Amino acid sequence: MKRQRSYSRKDSYYHLTQRPLNSLVFVLPLLLIYHVGALYYQDQRLLVPRYVDWFLVYFGAPRQVLAPLLILSVLVLQHLARKEPWKVHGWVLTGTLAESLALTIPLIILARVTGWVSVMFAQVSQPALPQTGMLMIASVGAGLYEEFIFRLVYIALFMLVVVDVAGLRKDLAEVLAVLSGALIFALCHFSWAQISGDAAFDWSRFLFLLLAGVIWGTVFLARGYGVAVGSHIMWDIYATLAHNAV
């Protein structure tokens, strides 16, 4: 009972990690690291992540500027909509980092089970991108922007349409949002030729990405954007180092 009451408190770690403001402060240095690193390496594939580029291609302003502003703006708007205090908790940020590290463990186990220890960067860990530093920067970008597109944006829009408009039960809608988002996330890591059957389709890799997407979607709903981003980045860094160690 005592533990249950601690979870229900609005000032508990469980609730504070889900606040958009804490997520914003957690991802802000990561955004800075990613975009400074992308400018340093001057690789177009890093300057604007392709998932975000699809959304911003029709905007006239520099997309490498709009991309991080998009994440920050959404988190600020969420914070304003929830009318929560402008207070950041340092111990919550430390806990978010620790939780992100811990959540890497089930992903490592999943990768071992599916046979994919290093799949997240299978497309970029080729001679075209040989530097470990560049791959580490790409890891940060993947965590930030893939969680933004496939979890924060997609799940919010899905819930808006399915719950607010169609009237579906919230708990069922959340399950459908996580599953469908994970499916789209997994398929986006393959070319159209692979999806259509014109080229070899790696089912082992697809299974890992699908299940990893389910994990990150569940983490996003239960723990917030910051924890989802952190665990995604930690996994990608592990996958990069594991691949380079082979």
User: What is the per-residue pLDDT across 27-38, written as a single tens digit (0 to 9) for each?
Assistant: 999 999 998 888
Burial of 245 (0-12, 13-18, 19+ CB in 10 A): exposed
Looking at the chain, the whole-number percentage of residues with pLDDT higher than 70 is 80
Give the count of beta carbons closer than 10 Å to the beta carbon of residue 162: 19
The C-alpha atoms of residue 231 and residue 155 are separated, in whole angstroms, by 18
Most confident among 35-44, 181-190, 211-220 (mean pLDDT): 211-220
Of 121 and 149, more confident: 149
pLDDT band for position 2 (cuts 50, 70, 90): very low
User: What is the per-residue pLDDT across 87-126, written as a single tens digit (0 to 9) for each?
Assistant: 998 899 999 999 999 999 999 999 888 876 544 444 444 4
Task: Quickly tell me which residue has 């393959």 as its tokens.
Answer: 190
At 133 the pLDDT is 84
Report the range of poorest mean pLDDT among 34-48, 55-69, 134-148, 168-182.
55-69
Nearest CA to 126 out of 115, 114, 116, 138 is that of 138
The C-alpha atoms of residue 228 and residue 207 are separated, in whole angstroms, by 19
User: What is the per-residue pLDDT across 42-82, written as a single tens digit (0 to 9) for each?
Assistant: 765 665 556 666 666 655 556 677 888 889 999 999 999 99
Task: Quickly tell me which residue has 């530093």 as its tokens.
Answer: 133
Q: Tell me the H-state helices in the chain.
A: 2-8, 13-16, 20-41, 44-47, 50-56, 63-82, 90-102, 104-114, 132-147, 154-159, 170-187, 192-196, 203-223, 225-245
At 60 the pLDDT is 55
Global pTM exceeds 0.75: yes
- Average of pLDDT values for 175-180? 97
The C-alpha atoms of residue 97 and residue 26 are separated, in whole angstroms, by 9
